Structure 1
Amino acid sequence: MTTTHETLNGKVALVTGGSRGIGAATALRLAREGADVAVTYVDGKEAADGVVRAVEELGRRALALRADSGDAAEAAGAVERTAERLGGLDVLVNNAGVGVLGPLDSLSLSDVDRVLAVNVRGVFLTSQAAASRMDPGGRIITVGSCMAQRVPGPGGTLYTTSKSALTGLTKALARELGGRGITANIVHPGPIDTDMNPADGPYADGQAAMTALGRFGSADEVAAMVAYLARADYVTGAEFAVDGGFAA
């Protein structure tokens, strides 16, 4: 297995939802290991431009693309735009996602449609488009959720449904694309300190207590696992928990 950082030199990566949090940390980690990087965003162009500047300061090419993963054309189109502007695609990180939590009877049809469109259909379509562009050695890495492995309480039916679907998709992609030398894996973050779920937020103590390590993780810790999978040759169809023991 080749795991040195040089293996990403000259590679092109697309990180969906890469303007902040886990996505931004992943984009920067891949750039540090030699990749040129495109990131997508819906809102927050300023943040996405900041990621681009940071990548360029590392000596790599970078691109910010406005693309809503819930829109079928935009989800697939982000792959095409990346390949056209950066000269191909070697690594896809399906990071974009939305979370709607609440009692089962409070979830509307629009909630269901939006969550499944972004978290499932968008990932499928982006992966499909990426697979058509990738040569042997391509990598598809999807960001799932610890709630796909353990649901600690009520209120997570819709979100958990969407993230659990990604495990099946990942395993099927591994079988579908393995003969072409393309791998597919999924990473399940636990409580991660981000703007959306800060480690000093109102629900943080309870989340940290559910982990074996008793703390939130950092976006960089998730990004390190994604970067490993972008380099690993003989790993595919696998789930990796970066959750501090949340599912232990």
Structure 2
Amino acid sequence: MATGLAGRSVIITGGGSGIGRAAALAFAAEGARVVVADIDGDRADAVVKEVAEAGGDAVAVVGDLSEQHVVDQVARTAVERFGGVDVLVNNAGVMDRMSAVADVTDEEWERVIRVNLTAPFLLTRAVLPHMLAAGRGAIVNTASEAGLRGSAAGAAYTASKHAVVGLTRNLAVMYRKQGIRTNAIAPGGTATNITVDVVEGAHGPAAIRPLLAGAGRVSRPEDQAAVILFLASDAAEHVNGAVLPVDDGWSAV
């Protein structure tokens, strides 16, 4: 597959671990130059080192992407270091506690929405002027199986990922004539370091767990990264507004 990614500038959020790390390594292997954005500096630096040892070019930006000044730093770093922004991968995210609506605290709701939805919005808004000036760009969002159904997570996470799906489709329509494509993956269960701090005996986990039997096999981060790479590449130049499940058929059940 000819990806056309060599020399392109790519921002990957949550790039220090899991799907983000796998994506950073995959893009770098194609010759792309990568901004690894993560809240954990040690993890981000470790990925940058991995890329460098493999002969690639990457730089880390550390901070909370729900804060505007961090978003500005990420976009500025891509432009100053690599000359622009060709690809944005909005991958960073957090899980909720599987809480049902009656049990969701303000803190849980606000944190999940801020990281999973507001941060991608802020970063997309920050990079769009650069993509518009170039007349091209690819945005890939990490949604979730929880963005396709109501039985895969708690209220906050489910709402945030449904919103990511809506944001993806709106961007695809709004900017297709300007050469910017926006797609999303909807991962099923994936072996990452994201944990779920459930409250045992609470209504949410009790209601959801019996419904997860059809979830299928747990994927590797590399499986998700391969699809992100495809959606960002020239091989997918006519794919726009797609939300692609990567879930071993869970969405078909």
Relative to the length of structure 2, the TM-score reads 0.87
Corresponding position: 1:225 with 2:227: yes
- Long gaps (5+) in structure 2: 197-204
Of the three residues 34, 39, 44, the one matched with 1:37 is 34
**Residues 104, 157 of structure 1: 8 Å contact kept:** yes
Cα deviation code 1:116-149 (max 9, x no counterpart): 1111111111011111111233101000010111
For 2:122 and 2:42, locate their aligned partners in 1 and report how far apart those are by CA, in whole Å.
26
Q: How has the CA–CA distance of structure 1 residues 207 and 93 changed in structure 2, closer, same or farther, with 3 Å as cutoff?
A: farther
Aligned partner of 2:243 in structure 1 is: 239
Between the aligned residues of both structures, percent identity stands at: 36
What is the CA-CA distance between 1:197 and the residue it aligns to?
5.3
- Counterpart of 1:166? 164
**How many residue pairs are counted as aligned between the two chains?**
236
The answer (yes or no) to whether the contact 1:26–1:220 under 8 Å persists in 2 is: yes
Alpha-carbon distance in structure 1 between the residues aligned to 2:226 and 2:220: 10
Deviation of 1:208 (Å)? 7.5
SS at match of 2:250: coil
In the TM superposition, residue 108 of structure 1 has moved relative to its aligned partner by 1.4
- Check 1:52–1:209 CA distance in 2 against 1; reply closer, same or farther (3 A cut): same
Instruction: Show CA shifts across 1:135-179 (max 9, x none).
Output: 2331010000101112336x6111000010011111111112111
Relative distance call for 1:246 and 1:76 in structure 2 (3 A) is farther
Partners of 1:19 and 1:28 in 2: how far apart? 10
In structure 2, the partner of 1:183 is: 181
Partner secondary structure for residue 192 of structure 1:
coil
Query: What are the residue-to-residue correspondences of 1:2-151 with 2, within 5 Å?
Result: 3-5=1-3, 7-43=4-40, 45-101=41-97, 102-134=99-131, 135-151=134-150
Which residue identity is paired with 2:224?
V
Long gaps (5+) in structure 1: none
Does the CA-based 8 Å contact 2:95-2:194 persist in structure 1? no
8 Å contact from structure 2 (residues 136, 179) kept in 1: yes
Contact preservation (8 Å) 2:75, 2:126 = yes
Alpha-carbon shift at residue 207 of structure 1 (Å): 8.6
Is the 1:186–1:240 contact (alpha carbons within 8 Å) kept by the matching residues of 2?
yes
CA contact (8 A) 1:71 1:117 kept: no
